[in-house]
Amino acid sequence: MSKTIKKNIDIDSHYQLTQEQISFYQENEFIKLKNVLSPETLAHYRQIIWDKTLALNTNTLAMEERSTYDKAFIQVINLWQENDRVKEFVLGKTLARIASELMQVSGVRLYHDQALFKEASGGFTPWHADQQYWPLSSHKTITAWIPLQAVSLDMGPLSFAAGSQHDQTYRDLAISDDSEMVIQKAMNDYPIECAAFDIGEISFHSGWMYHRAPANKTNETRGVMTIIYMDEAMKLKEPENPNQENDRRCFLPGIEVGQIANSPLNPIIYSQAF
Protein backbone atom coordinates (compact mmCIF):
# COMPACT_ATOMS: atom_id res chain seq x y z
CA MET A 1 0.00 0.00 0.00
CA SER A 2 1.48 3.40 -0.88
CA LYS A 3 1.46 5.83 2.00
CA THR A 4 0.63 9.48 1.49
CA ILE A 5 2.19 11.60 4.21
CA LYS A 6 0.29 14.82 4.73
CA LYS A 7 1.71 17.62 6.83
CA ASN A 8 1.37 16.83 10.54
CA ILE A 9 -0.43 13.53 9.88
CA ASP A 10 1.94 10.89 11.09
CA ILE A 11 1.33 7.58 12.79
CA ASP A 12 4.75 6.10 12.06
CA SER A 13 7.18 8.42 13.78
CA HIS A 14 9.48 7.91 16.76
CA TYR A 15 8.16 9.41 20.01
CA GLN A 16 11.27 9.78 22.12
CA LEU A 17 10.56 8.39 25.59
CA THR A 18 12.83 9.53 28.41
CA GLN A 19 14.52 7.00 30.69
CA GLU A 20 12.43 8.51 33.48
CA GLN A 21 9.18 7.67 31.63
CA ILE A 22 10.29 4.10 30.93
CA SER A 23 11.30 3.65 34.59
CA PHE A 24 7.98 5.13 35.72
CA TYR A 25 6.08 2.62 33.58
CA GLN A 26 8.27 -0.28 34.69
CA GLU A 27 7.45 0.56 38.30
CA ASN A 28 3.80 1.66 37.98
CA GLU A 29 2.53 -0.15 34.85
CA PHE A 30 0.58 2.89 33.70
CA ILE A 31 1.61 6.23 32.25
CA LYS A 32 -0.01 9.23 30.55
CA LEU A 33 2.01 10.82 27.74
CA LYS A 34 1.25 14.23 26.25
CA ASN A 35 1.49 15.27 22.58
CA VAL A 36 1.88 11.74 21.25
CA LEU A 37 -0.33 12.23 18.19
CA SER A 38 -0.93 15.65 16.66
CA PRO A 39 -4.43 17.17 16.65
CA GLU A 40 -4.26 16.95 12.82
CA THR A 41 -3.52 13.21 12.94
CA LEU A 42 -6.39 12.59 15.33
CA ALA A 43 -8.73 14.74 13.22
CA HIS A 44 -7.67 12.76 10.14
CA TYR A 45 -8.69 9.37 11.60
CA ARG A 46 -11.40 10.45 14.04
CA GLN A 47 -14.35 10.58 11.64
CA ILE A 48 -13.78 7.16 10.09
CA ILE A 49 -13.37 5.56 13.54
CA TRP A 50 -16.49 7.38 14.71
CA ASP A 51 -18.59 6.39 11.68
CA LYS A 52 -17.55 2.72 11.78
CA THR A 53 -18.14 2.50 15.54
CA LEU A 54 -21.65 3.88 15.29
CA ALA A 55 -22.44 1.77 12.22
CA LEU A 56 -21.35 -1.47 13.94
CA ASN A 57 -22.72 -0.70 17.41
CA THR A 58 -25.30 -3.16 18.73
CA ASN A 59 -25.69 -1.55 22.19
CA THR A 60 -28.81 0.43 21.38
CA LEU A 61 -31.20 0.05 24.33
CA ALA A 62 -32.27 3.23 26.11
CA MET A 63 -29.68 4.09 28.79
CA GLU A 64 -32.02 3.37 31.70
CA GLU A 65 -32.72 -0.15 30.40
CA ARG A 66 -29.07 -1.17 30.12
CA SER A 67 -26.85 -3.17 32.50
CA THR A 68 -24.02 -1.35 34.32
CA TYR A 69 -21.57 -2.70 31.71
CA ASP A 70 -23.66 -1.54 28.76
CA LYS A 71 -24.22 1.89 30.29
CA ALA A 72 -20.45 2.36 30.48
CA PHE A 73 -19.75 2.41 26.75
CA ILE A 74 -20.46 1.35 23.21
CA GLN A 75 -17.79 -1.27 22.46
CA VAL A 76 -16.78 -2.26 18.93
CA ILE A 77 -13.90 -4.68 18.52
CA ASN A 78 -11.31 -5.16 15.77
CA LEU A 79 -12.35 -2.18 13.70
CA TRP A 80 -9.05 -2.61 11.83
CA GLN A 81 -10.67 -5.57 10.06
CA GLU A 82 -13.48 -3.37 8.77
CA ASN A 83 -11.76 -0.48 7.05
CA ASP A 84 -8.36 0.19 5.44
CA ARG A 85 -7.94 3.63 7.01
CA VAL A 86 -8.65 2.30 10.48
CA LYS A 87 -6.21 -0.52 9.71
CA GLU A 88 -3.55 2.05 8.81
CA PHE A 89 -4.19 3.76 12.18
CA VAL A 90 -4.14 0.57 14.28
CA LEU A 91 -1.00 -0.73 12.57
CA GLY A 92 0.80 2.61 13.07
CA LYS A 93 4.30 2.27 14.45
CA THR A 94 4.43 5.32 16.75
CA LEU A 95 2.24 3.82 19.46
CA ALA A 96 3.52 0.26 18.93
CA ARG A 97 7.11 1.38 19.48
CA ILE A 98 6.13 3.25 22.66
CA ALA A 99 4.33 0.09 23.85
CA SER A 100 7.40 -2.00 23.14
CA GLU A 101 9.80 0.41 24.85
CA LEU A 102 7.59 0.85 27.92
CA MET A 103 7.31 -2.92 28.36
CA GLN A 104 11.01 -3.37 27.49
CA VAL A 105 10.38 -6.10 24.94
CA SER A 106 11.93 -6.48 21.48
CA GLY A 107 8.64 -5.96 19.66
CA VAL A 108 4.86 -6.08 19.89
CA ARG A 109 1.97 -7.80 18.14
CA LEU A 110 -1.61 -6.69 17.97
CA TYR A 111 -3.91 -8.51 20.40
CA HIS A 112 -6.97 -6.55 19.27
CA ASP A 113 -8.37 -3.05 19.07
CA GLN A 114 -11.59 -1.69 20.46
CA ALA A 115 -13.50 1.56 20.21
CA LEU A 116 -14.97 2.55 23.60
CA PHE A 117 -17.45 5.39 23.26
CA LYS A 118 -18.98 6.65 26.48
CA GLU A 119 -22.16 8.33 25.35
CA ALA A 120 -23.67 11.49 26.82
CA SER A 121 -24.98 10.52 30.29
CA GLY A 122 -23.19 7.16 29.97
CA GLY A 123 -22.40 5.43 33.27
CA PHE A 124 -19.08 4.79 35.00
CA THR A 125 -16.75 2.03 33.83
CA PRO A 126 -16.42 -0.45 36.73
CA TRP A 127 -13.02 -1.25 38.25
CA HIS A 128 -11.31 -4.15 36.51
CA ALA A 129 -8.02 -5.57 35.26
CA ASP A 130 -8.08 -6.55 31.58
CA GLN A 131 -5.92 -9.63 31.83
CA GLN A 132 -8.75 -11.49 33.59
CA TYR A 133 -10.12 -11.82 30.03
CA TRP A 134 -6.89 -12.76 28.24
CA PRO A 135 -5.46 -16.30 27.81
CA LEU A 136 -1.92 -15.00 27.47
CA SER A 137 1.22 -16.57 28.92
CA SER A 138 2.87 -13.47 30.40
CA HIS A 139 2.00 -10.06 31.81
CA LYS A 140 3.76 -8.28 28.91
CA THR A 141 0.52 -6.75 27.63
CA ILE A 142 -0.38 -3.08 27.31
CA THR A 143 -3.35 -0.99 26.21
CA ALA A 144 -3.00 2.38 24.49
CA TRP A 145 -6.09 4.46 25.40
CA ILE A 146 -6.43 7.09 22.69
CA PRO A 147 -9.04 9.83 23.19
CA LEU A 148 -10.35 11.20 19.89
CA GLN A 149 -10.96 14.57 21.60
CA ALA A 150 -9.82 16.15 24.84
CA VAL A 151 -11.49 14.40 27.81
CA SER A 152 -12.50 16.60 30.74
CA LEU A 153 -13.07 15.18 34.22
CA ASP A 154 -16.80 15.30 33.50
CA MET A 155 -16.50 13.13 30.36
CA GLY A 156 -15.03 10.02 32.03
CA PRO A 157 -11.22 9.99 31.75
CA LEU A 158 -9.48 6.65 32.31
CA SER A 159 -8.26 6.43 35.92
CA PHE A 160 -5.79 4.14 37.63
CA ALA A 161 -5.27 2.74 41.14
CA ALA A 162 -1.50 3.20 41.51
CA GLY A 163 0.16 0.06 42.85
CA SER A 164 -2.87 -2.20 42.29
CA GLN A 165 -1.13 -4.22 39.56
CA HIS A 166 0.50 -6.28 42.32
CA ASP A 167 -2.81 -7.10 44.03
CA GLN A 168 -3.69 -10.68 43.12
CA THR A 169 -6.79 -10.98 45.32
CA TYR A 170 -9.40 -10.02 42.73
CA ARG A 171 -7.91 -11.45 39.56
CA ASP A 172 -10.69 -14.03 39.19
CA LEU A 173 -13.41 -11.37 39.05
CA ALA A 174 -14.94 -10.44 35.72
CA ILE A 175 -16.82 -7.14 35.51
CA SER A 176 -20.18 -7.24 37.29
CA ASP A 177 -22.12 -5.22 39.87
CA ASP A 178 -20.79 -7.62 42.54
CA SER A 179 -17.15 -7.27 41.44
CA GLU A 180 -17.55 -3.49 41.46
CA MET A 181 -18.67 -3.50 45.09
CA VAL A 182 -15.72 -5.63 46.18
CA ILE A 183 -12.98 -4.09 44.03
CA GLN A 184 -14.11 -0.51 44.54
CA LYS A 185 -13.73 -0.96 48.29
CA ALA A 186 -10.29 -2.55 47.88
CA MET A 187 -9.07 0.24 45.58
CA ASN A 188 -9.55 2.76 48.43
CA ASP A 189 -6.17 1.46 49.65
CA TYR A 190 -4.38 2.89 46.60
CA PRO A 191 -3.85 6.45 45.36
CA ILE A 192 -6.26 7.05 42.46
CA GLU A 193 -4.90 8.86 39.41
CA CYS A 194 -7.94 10.50 37.83
CA ALA A 195 -7.30 13.52 35.61
CA ALA A 196 -8.41 15.07 32.32
CA PHE A 197 -6.69 14.19 29.02
CA ASP A 198 -5.52 16.91 26.61
CA ILE A 199 -5.95 16.36 22.89
CA GLY A 200 -3.03 14.14 21.78
CA GLU A 201 -2.49 12.77 25.29
CA ILE A 202 -2.55 8.95 25.44
CA SER A 203 -2.34 6.58 28.38
CA PHE A 204 -0.76 3.13 28.47
CA HIS A 205 -1.61 0.52 31.09
CA SER A 206 -0.70 -3.10 31.68
CA GLY A 207 -3.08 -6.05 31.76
CA TRP A 208 -3.07 -6.37 35.55
CA MET A 209 -3.44 -2.66 36.29
CA TYR A 210 -6.81 -1.90 37.89
CA HIS A 211 -8.61 0.97 36.20
CA ARG A 212 -12.03 2.57 35.87
CA ALA A 213 -13.61 5.67 34.35
CA PRO A 214 -16.14 8.05 35.89
CA ALA A 215 -19.53 8.62 34.25
CA ASN A 216 -19.93 11.01 31.33
CA LYS A 217 -21.87 13.93 32.80
CA THR A 218 -21.70 16.01 29.62
CA ASN A 219 -23.96 15.95 26.59
CA GLU A 220 -21.09 14.98 24.28
CA THR A 221 -19.92 11.44 23.47
CA ARG A 222 -16.43 10.58 24.76
CA GLY A 223 -14.89 8.86 21.73
CA VAL A 224 -11.88 6.67 22.54
CA MET A 225 -9.97 4.18 20.42
CA THR A 226 -7.85 1.56 22.16
CA ILE A 227 -5.11 -0.65 20.79
CA ILE A 228 -4.02 -3.66 22.82
CA TYR A 229 -0.50 -4.89 22.19
CA MET A 230 1.37 -7.92 23.49
CA ASP A 231 4.99 -9.01 23.51
CA GLU A 232 5.88 -10.41 20.06
CA ALA A 233 6.94 -13.61 21.87
CA MET A 234 3.59 -14.04 23.67
CA LYS A 235 2.14 -17.56 23.78
CA LEU A 236 -1.39 -18.82 24.23
CA LYS A 237 -1.92 -20.32 27.69
CA GLU A 238 -4.66 -22.74 28.67
CA PRO A 239 -7.76 -20.55 29.11
CA GLU A 240 -8.77 -20.29 32.78
CA ASN A 241 -12.35 -19.03 32.51
CA PRO A 242 -15.13 -18.59 29.92
CA ASN A 243 -13.95 -15.04 29.09
CA GLN A 244 -10.51 -16.38 28.18
CA GLU A 245 -12.09 -19.20 26.11
CA ASN A 246 -14.04 -16.54 24.23
CA ASP A 247 -10.95 -14.38 23.66
CA ARG A 248 -9.03 -17.38 22.37
CA ARG A 249 -11.76 -18.06 19.80
CA CYS A 250 -12.13 -14.43 18.74
CA PHE A 251 -8.58 -13.10 18.80
CA LEU A 252 -6.27 -16.11 18.42
CA PRO A 253 -7.97 -18.34 15.83
CA GLY A 254 -6.09 -21.55 15.04
CA ILE A 255 -3.47 -21.11 17.79
CA GLU A 256 -2.78 -24.08 20.06
CA VAL A 257 -1.93 -23.78 23.77
CA GLY A 258 1.83 -23.19 24.12
CA GLN A 259 2.22 -21.72 20.61
CA ILE A 260 3.26 -18.16 19.80
CA ALA A 261 0.14 -16.00 19.48
CA ASN A 262 0.72 -15.30 15.80
CA SER A 263 -2.62 -15.84 14.08
CA PRO A 264 -3.41 -13.62 11.07
CA LEU A 265 -5.17 -11.31 13.57
CA ASN A 266 -1.92 -10.74 15.50
CA PRO A 267 0.60 -9.11 13.16
CA ILE A 268 3.86 -7.78 14.58
CA ILE A 269 3.45 -4.01 14.39
CA TYR A 270 6.84 -2.93 15.69
CA SER A 271 10.00 -4.96 16.20
CA GLN A 272 13.63 -4.03 16.71
CA ALA A 273 14.30 -6.76 14.14
CA PHE A 274 12.55 -4.82 11.32
Ligand X SMILES: O=C(O)CCC(=O)C(=O)O
Q: Is 216 one of the binding residues for ligand X (CB under 6 A)?
A: no
CB of 33 or CB of 116, closer to ligand X = 116
59 in Cβ contact with 71 (< 8 Å): no
CB of 145 to ligand X, least distance (A): 5
Q: Is 132 one of the binding residues for ligand X (CB under 6 A)?
A: no
Binding mask 133-172 for ligand X (x = CB under 6 A): ----------x-x----------x-x--------------
214 in Cβ contact with 153 (< 8 Å): yes
88 in Cβ contact with 184 (< 8 Å): no
CB of 69 or CB of 270, closer to ligand X = 69
CB of 14 or CB of 126, closer to ligand X = 126
Q: Is 252 one of the binding residues for ligand X (CB under 6 A)?
A: no
CB of 130 or CB of 232, closer to ligand X = 130
CB of 6 to ligand X, least distance (A): 28
Q: Is 226 one of the binding residues for ligand X (CB under 6 A)?
A: yes
Near ligand X by CB under 6 A: residue from 29, 113, 119, 130: 130
CB of 13 or CB of 176, closer to ligand X = 176
Contact positions vs ligand X (CB under 6 A): 72-73, 116, 118, 125, 130, 143, 145, 156, 158, 211, 213, 224, 226
